[in-house]
C-alpha cells in the first residue's frame, strides 16, 4: 500500500524552516495551486512557529511511502 503526503515548507521570521504536511493530497494538484495555497497561508498569517510568523515560501514536495504490513 502506498501512502502519500504533501509537504509544504516555509521560512519564519527568524529564518527557520517550518513544515506543514497534508496526508493523501489530491493527485492532480498543480504546482501553481500549491504555491497559491502556500501564499495564502503566509498572507493570512494562519500559522505561527515557536520562532515567529511564517514570512516566505521555501519549497514543497510530494513524498510517497510504500507500506507493507507483516503478519506476525
Structural domain contains residue 29: yes
Structural domain contains residue 72: no
Structural domain contains residue 31: yes
Query: In sequence order, what are the beta bridge partners of 57?
Result: 10
Structural domain contains residue 71: no
- pTM of the predicted model, to two decimals? 0.86
Structural domain contains residue 8: yes
Domain housing 35: 2-66
Closest CA to 57 of 7, 5, 9: 9
Residue-level pLDDT at 46: 85
CB 16, CB 30: distance < 8 Å: no
Structural domain contains residue 46: yes
How many domains are there within the chain? 1
Structural domain contains residue 53: yes
Instruction: Tell whether the model's pLDDT for residue 47 goes beyond 90.
Output: no
Residue-level pLDDT at 10: 97
Give CA–CA dist 2/67, Å, rounded: 6
Reported as a single tens digit per residue, the pLDDT across 3-41 is 999 999 999 999 999 999 999 999 899 999 999 999 999
Amino acid at each position: 500500500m502506498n501512502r502519500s503526503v504533501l509537504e509544504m515548507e516555509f521560512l519564519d521570521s527568524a529564518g527557520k524552516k517550518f513544515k506543514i504536511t497534508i496526508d493523501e493530497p489530491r493527485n492532480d494538484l498543480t504546482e501553481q495551486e500549491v504555491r497559491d495555497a502556500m501564499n495564502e497561508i503566509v498572507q493570512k498569517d494562519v500559522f505561527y512557529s515557536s520562532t515567529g510568523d511564517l514570512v516566505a515560501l521555501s519549497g514543497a514536495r510530494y513524498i510517497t511511502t510504500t507500506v507493507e504490513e507483516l503478519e506476525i
